Structure 1
Amino acid sequence: MLKYELLPEQLVREGTIPEESLFAPMPLPEKYILETHDAGYYQRLVAGQLTRQEERATGFPWSEQLVQREVTILGGTVQCAKLALHTGVALNVAGGTHHAFADRGEGFCLLNDQAVAANYLLRHEGIGRVLIVDLDVHQGNGTAALFRDEPRVFTFSVHGARNYPARKEHSDLDLPLPDGTDDATYLQLLGATLPRLLDEVQPEFVFYLSGVDVLATDKLGHLALTREGCRRRDQLVLELCHRHRLPVVVCMGGGYSERVADIVEAHANTFRVAADLWG
């Protein structure tokens, strides 16, 4: 998607981030992927042996380049997680592939980057408790299923009640929203919920999926947030993480407005908020 090229260019040009803070991730080694994903599924994915039904469910025609893209996204989110342990925050211009399950892909997601990174932290970095805050307009059904029986990971999803997927999984906390939800309603609900969750869950690390498909301009979202409301959403989440000294990784997730400028500007606001807080 064009936004992946335009977003870093804009952030550097306007001075929000220095060019040297950008990095190109390496593909994640298989051993870390298999801590989350089923080995049989992953091997068939790599070999191009998915069934037509499985391939159709992903929304993508299979190619080696597609698999390499997905594995590189995983590498980026894991690298962000390691960076955030030292810097407090790191952002992936891609990522947020929250519809991928252990044994299958769905909804343009083949492998689940935040789930893989969360398991990496649990297994290799001594993190004992993770909170995943999924504010993409679509429920993170793959993420919810992957951590259904993992008490060390709390999954929280705010999403359109009538949006994809038709069959929702059960996150640890789901807040389904009606079509047309506006800034005031959304921000009031999030502001009343997330501070309480931080107190109850006591996470040591946060993953934040900051999809901008909540915008009123989005072709697929059906909510009614303005760009300013979306920025205030990001500010609410990131200020709480900063105040609690919680390392956080942000992945950009979805965004399908007609004008690519609306998508890029909304994503850029996420970076601007993080830059203001962590300087």
Structure 2
Amino acid sequence: MSIPFVYHASYSKLALPSTHRFPTTKYHNLYQHALKQHLLFERYRHIPSPISIDMLYGVHCPQYVDQFINGTLDHKVQRRIGFPWSTELVTRTLHAVNGTHLCVELALKHGIAVHLTGGYHHAHYDFGSGFCIFNDLVIAAKSAIESGEVDKVLIFDCDVHQGDGTATLTQGDPNIINCSIHCAKNFPSRKQQSDYDIDLDKGCTDTRYLEHIQQILPYLIRLHQPDLIIYDAGVDIHQDDDLGYFSISNQGILDRDKQVISIAKMHNIPLAAVIGGGYSRSETELTLRHSQLLIAANESWLSTQ
């Protein structure tokens, strides 16, 4: 067996100005690298269809959903998202959000699955922010619960930025446990209240960071006994990331991903992983950082099959 994964060509087909900070090429680069290095195999690839509008309505304001799709959002609202509107952006968004939903379905069937985008945790009920338009993590979690496949979901968010949209969308929902491990002094400037917020200082090192992962994840599993973990494996924790302020090495990212995957497997909990944030002008370096998740999945999950 190999790791089932989700990828759609639209993920990297977003024309942006050369000065734009969003690394739109990284998804295609990671996909090609993973196939070349035999970290993933094409026959285990799953291609998402566009998400249904009703699923978006189930989490987001219908007016906001319709205005985004039709390109009629207020300029300030569109600007807060961070992307200029285009039909390519709509296509990419609808496929990417459904990709995380598909990733969850695959994880529940196979034990683990990876989505080569996702982690849009800054998307709130009626507005998007920080390159996030619709909150794929919450949509996928709610869908799994409403389908009756699971009773409780843990969203374990290790992106360097707090998942503020996930926090606001899951407040008061006892079936979705949201944990965000992030840099205290980083975007968003106004933090929201997750079920668990682990605020770490700028310059956090591998050792200190991994200690927190090792402590908090088993604790959350014991306390809440989730039936599914949705894992945001953001690599913007890297010491050379353009938008992160931690001092985590490539080895630190690999060790984190191994820890999370191993803990989930040890407790027999399906794990759906999204690659999350990562920002660098060096496409090669960014690909290597994100590929740590795939290396970890092969070493920590498949090696013990």
TM-score norm. by structure 1 comes to 0.98
How many residues were matched structurally?
279
Hey, what does 1:119 align to over in structure 2?
A: 142
Hey, what does 2:221 align to over in structure 1?
A: 198
Hey, what does 2:11 align to over in structure 1?
A: none
Hey, what does 1:144 align to over in structure 2?
A: 167
Moved more, 42-51 or 207-216: 42-51
Residue 46 of structure 2: SS of its match in structure 1?
coil
Instruction: State the 1:28 CA deviation.
Output: 0.9
CA distance, structure 2, for counterparts of residue 91 and residue 126 of structure 1:
19
Amino acid in structure 1 at the alignment position of 2:257:
D
- Please state if 1:274 is matched with 2:297: yes
Hey, what does 2:52 align to over in structure 1?
A: 29
Hey, what does 1:240 align to over in structure 2?
A: 263
Instruction: State the 1:195 CA deviation.
Output: 0.9
Amino acid in structure 2 at the alignment position of 1:136:
D
Instruction: State the 1:257 CA deviation.
Output: 2.5
CA distance, structure 1, for counterparts of residue 265 and residue 234 of structure 2:
20
Amino acid in structure 1 at the alignment position of 2:175:
R
Hey, what does 1:54 align to over in structure 2?
A: 77
2:231 to 208, 223, 236: 208
Q: RMSD value over aligned CA atoms? A: 1.0
Moved over 4 A (4+): none
Hey, what does 2:36 align to over in structure 1?
A: 13
Gaps of 5+ in 1: none
Instruction: State the 1:150 CA deviation.
Output: 0.5
CA distance, structure 2, for counterparts of residue 203 and residue 23 of structure 1:
25
Amino acid in structure 1 at the alignment position of 2:254:
R
Q: Please tell me whether the aligned partners of residues 134 and 156 of structure 1 are also in contact (alpha carbons under 8 angstroms).
A: yes
Amino acid in structure 2 at the alignment position of 1:210:
A
Hey, what does 1:263 align to over in structure 2?
A: 286
Give deviations 1:87-123, integer Å, cap 9, x for gaps: 0011111110000011110111011111110011011
After TM superposition, the structure 1 = structure 2 runs for residues 32-111 of structure 1, keeping only pairs within 5 Å, are 32-111=55-134
CA distance, structure 1, for counterparts of residue 275 and residue 43 of structure 2:
20
Hey, what does 2:191 align to over in structure 1?
A: 168
Q: Please tell me whether the aligned partners of residues 217 and 258 of structure 1 are also in contact (alpha carbons under 8 angstroms).
A: no
Q: Please tell me whether the aligned partners of residues 96 and 251 of structure 1 are also in contact (alpha carbons under 8 angstroms).
A: yes
CA distance, structure 1, for counterparts of residue 289 and residue 277 of structure 2:
11
Moved more, 14-23 or 46-55: 14-23
Instruction: State the 1:194 CA deviation.
Output: 1.3
Amino acid in structure 1 at the alignment position of 2:28:
E
Gaps of 5+ in 2: 1-23
Residue 159 of structure 1: SS of its match in structure 2?
strand
- Please state if 1:184 is matched with 2:207: yes
Amino acid in structure 2 at the alignment position of 1:74:
V
Q: Please tell me whether the aligned partners of residues 254 and 295 of structure 2 are also in contact (alpha carbons under 8 angstroms).
A: no
Q: Please tell me whether the aligned partners of residues 88 and 278 of structure 1 are also in contact (alpha carbons under 8 angstroms).
A: no
Give deviations 1:108-159, integer Å, cap 9, x for gaps: 1011111110011011143110000000000000001000010100100010
Q: Identity percentage over the alignment?
A: 34
Give deviations 1:44-67, integer Å, cap 9, x for gaps: 111111111101110111112211
Moved more, 18-27 or 203-212: 18-27
Hey, what does 2:246 align to over in structure 1?
A: 223
CA distance, structure 2, for counterparts of residue 126 and residue 183 of structure 1:
36
TM-score norm. by structure 2 comes to 0.89
CA distance, structure 2, for counterparts of residue 120 and residue 274 of structure 1:
24
CA distance, structure 1, for counterparts of residue 301 and residue 181 of structure 2:
25
CA distance, structure 2, for counterparts of residue 247 and residue 34 of structure 1:
26
Instruction: State the 1:188 CA deviation.
Output: 1.0
Q: Please tell me whether the aligned partners of residues 218 and 258 of structure 1 are also in contact (alpha carbons under 8 angstroms).
A: no
CA distance, structure 2, for counterparts of residue 24 and residue 110 of structure 1:
20
